[in-house]
A and B are shown apart, each in its own frame.
Chain A
Amino acid sequence: MYVAVKGGEQAIDNAHRLLASERRGDLAIPELTISQISSQLALGVARVMCEGSLYDPELAALAIKQARGDMIEAIFLLRAYRTTQPRLGDSVPIDTSAMDVRRRVSAVFKDLPGGQILGPTFDYTHRLLDPALMGEGSPGEPARSGDGARIETPRVLELLDRDGLVETSPRDRDVGAADDLTRTPLEFPASREQRLQALARGDEGFLLGLAYSTQRGYGRTHPFAGEIRIGEVEVFFTPPELGFEVPLGTITVTECEMVNQFHGSGDEAPRFTRGYGCVFGQSERKAMSMALVDRSLRAAELGEASGAPAQDEEFVLSHCDNVQATGFVEHLKLPHYVDFQSELVLLRQLRAEWEAERAALKTPAGVSLREAAE
């Protein structure tokens, strides 16, 4: 337990001034603008929005600037901001099949309606540092093709679904305040909807590690990337005073559907199961990790042997939030003077007793006493 301390206001103030000056750095170098960050570091902005659990590219860019590029600090800033804002309501669930796609790939079917669309991907790059980017310059115009009509991309898993080869996603309950982790504390066992919310805002690195562990044998689920799509979807909201759906604009999301090993029982024919990931912005690694962890958390539901870390919902959900995690880890640096003093007193006492005992054993009187006792 840490204790309250007083004083130090001047030093704290000075530390914050120093922080502000370090953030700005060399004044001879032009200052970063928010629009530079939101347009040129867009994937960093996407991560902050996703884990900060708030879609607002401008505020996410501001958070990155203020946090000096420390992503978890930026996420923390965005989470703190959202607590100051009133909740107006829940959106109508987004329709990702109506997405205006920027990227859409499937690792299970080569030829699919709408085609495989690579979009702006790091895949197939050679991961060689590009010295040209050391300076400034234009990357040149992107190639173009087609007539500019919307590319229709039916969901890949619907192709399997048509033949009953893949489980359907049940639509049998309404999500309510009880499922919203920002409103109701998480209790175990959690619903799949609560788990998905926790994973959607969970730490990318933590989920990536867990997802990787399932591939390496800790709760193996034999995954295939059924479909990954990135693009813009329209959002609707029904304001209580209007009572009809109002289009709010569009948001960018990444969606990943994993197809996993088949499953069957006496009553059910074997079929593929699914894991799902859907996150703000272009965050493919996060969406894929989310889908893998979602599927592995369904181990008990699907009657699979469990025991691996990624299958333990209490372990995963209690530790995937990086704001909570950083708060608890970093609180160790706050004053624990009283705690430590009491430990110190106890330790000194134990050592004194230990030394006294040893001294007593060594003295002839001690020896004779011991013998007498025996």
Chain B
Amino acid sequence: MNLPAGDGRGFTDPVHESQKCFRAIMNALAHPAEPHPFMPPNSGCGALGAEAAAILLTLADFDTPVWLGGAGDCGEVREFIAFQCGAPIVADRAQAAFALIPESVSLAALESFSQGEPEYPDRAVTLIVQVECFGVGPWRFSGPGLRQPRSFSFAPAPDDFMALWQENSARFPLGVDILFVAQGLIAALPRSLIVQGN
């Protein structure tokens, strides 16, 4: 097989770099609906940006099937994940523990991913969604981790995102969690958040 050349570099110090990234991801989940700085040391490859790659390098391994959406499903990204994470790539999105959505506008059909089981809600998918930028409004999120409702948005977003998220919240404690990444930034929407229009 062809191995990733200069591009597609993983962690050089896996223990400490993955700990740092883990901390950033945890922080984003603890303070949800808010962009946080995220400067991973690795590079991306192809449609997989450095930030999304860092999340996979930190969280994905042999035990976590990964589903690749859109332009993410290419030989380059597959090889990166096989070599750097050792994670299996699955064609069936319902089997994925992590799913890469390289373009946020194509975010759809959240219910088609694994929602977890009543005994094990943790078995739901975590979506890794690449966005161009974050902003405020038009949605207000409230829930654990937010003292007051918080205004948050990302672009480009699908038109029906609010409806998608309302359906997702309605399935709580089941449902998907989303990690959004933009260049140098990470933000999280855990399924426990409720959305309202402004």
Contact = CB atoms under 8 A, between A and B. Distances in A.
A in complex with B: yes
Interface of A: 86-89, 177, 183, 239-243
B5 interface: no
Interface stretch (B20-28, B81-89, B163-171): B81-89
Contacts of A177: 63
A353 to B, nearest CB: 43
Contacts of A243: 1
B17 interface: no
B3 interface: yes
A227 B168 CA distance: 56
B1 A87 contact: no
Interface residues on B, range: 10 to 19
A176 B75 CA distance: 25
A241 B63 contact: no
A88 to B, nearest CB: 6
Interface string B34-73: 0000000000000000000000000001110000000000
Contact of A240 (B3, B63, B88): B88
Contacts of B1: 241-243
B3 A87 contact: no
Given A88-B62, A240-B62, A241-B79, 11 more contacts: A86-B61, A89-B62, A177-B63, A240-B82, A240-B83, A240-B87, A241-B1, A241-B3, A241-B82, A241-B83, A243-B1
Q: Which of B1, B63, B82, B83 has the most CB of A within 10 A?
A: B63
9 contacts: A86-B61, A87-B62, A88-B86, A89-B62, A89-B86, A177-B63, A240-B82, A240-B86, A241-B1
A178 to B, nearest CB: 10
A88 B62 CA distance: 6
Contacts of B79: 241
Nearest to A240: B82
B132 to A, nearest CB: 32
Given A241-B1, A241-B3, A87 B61 contact: yes
B-side interface mostly: loop
Interface string B1-29: 10100000000000000000000000000
Nearest to B119: A187
A86 B57 CA distance: 12
Across chains A and B, which 7 residue pairs bring their CB atoms closest together, nearest first?
A: A241-B83, A240-B82, A87-B62, A241-B82, A89-B62, A240-B86, A183-B63
B57 to A, nearest CB: 12
A99 B57 CA distance: 38
A89 B63 CA distance: 8
Contacts of A88: 62, 86
Interface in B75-110: 79, 82-83, 86-88
Most chain A CB neighbours (cut-off 10 Å) among B1, B62, B82, B88: B62
A183 B62 CA distance: 11
Interface in B135-149: none
Contacts of A241: 1, 3, 79, 82-83, 86
A177 B97 CA distance: 12
A33 B61 CA distance: 36
A177 B87 CA distance: 13
A206 to B, nearest CB: 28
A241 B80 CA distance: 9
B12 to A, nearest CB: 16
Contacts of B61: 86-87
A87 B83 contact: no
Contacts of B3: 241
A374 B82 CA distance: 85
Chain B CB within 10 A, most for which of A86, A88, A183: A86
A87 B63 contact: yes
Nearest to A87: B62
Contacts of A242: 1
- Please indicate which of the listed interface residues A86, A89, A183, A240 has the most CB atoms of chain B within 10 Å of its own CB: A240
Nearest to B65: A177
Contacts of B87: 240
A305 to B, nearest CB: 32
Nearest to A239: B86
A239 B1 CA distance: 12
Nearest to A177: B63
Contacts of A87: 61-63
A240 B65 CA distance: 13
A89 B61 CA distance: 9
A343 B82 CA distance: 57
Contacts of B83: 240-241
B84 to A, nearest CB: 9
A241 B62 CA distance: 12
Nearest to A241: B83
A86 B88 CA distance: 15
B45 to A, nearest CB: 14
A239 to B, nearest CB: 8
Nearest to B87: A240
Nearest to B86: A240
A17 B78 CA distance: 51
Contacts of B62: 86-89, 240
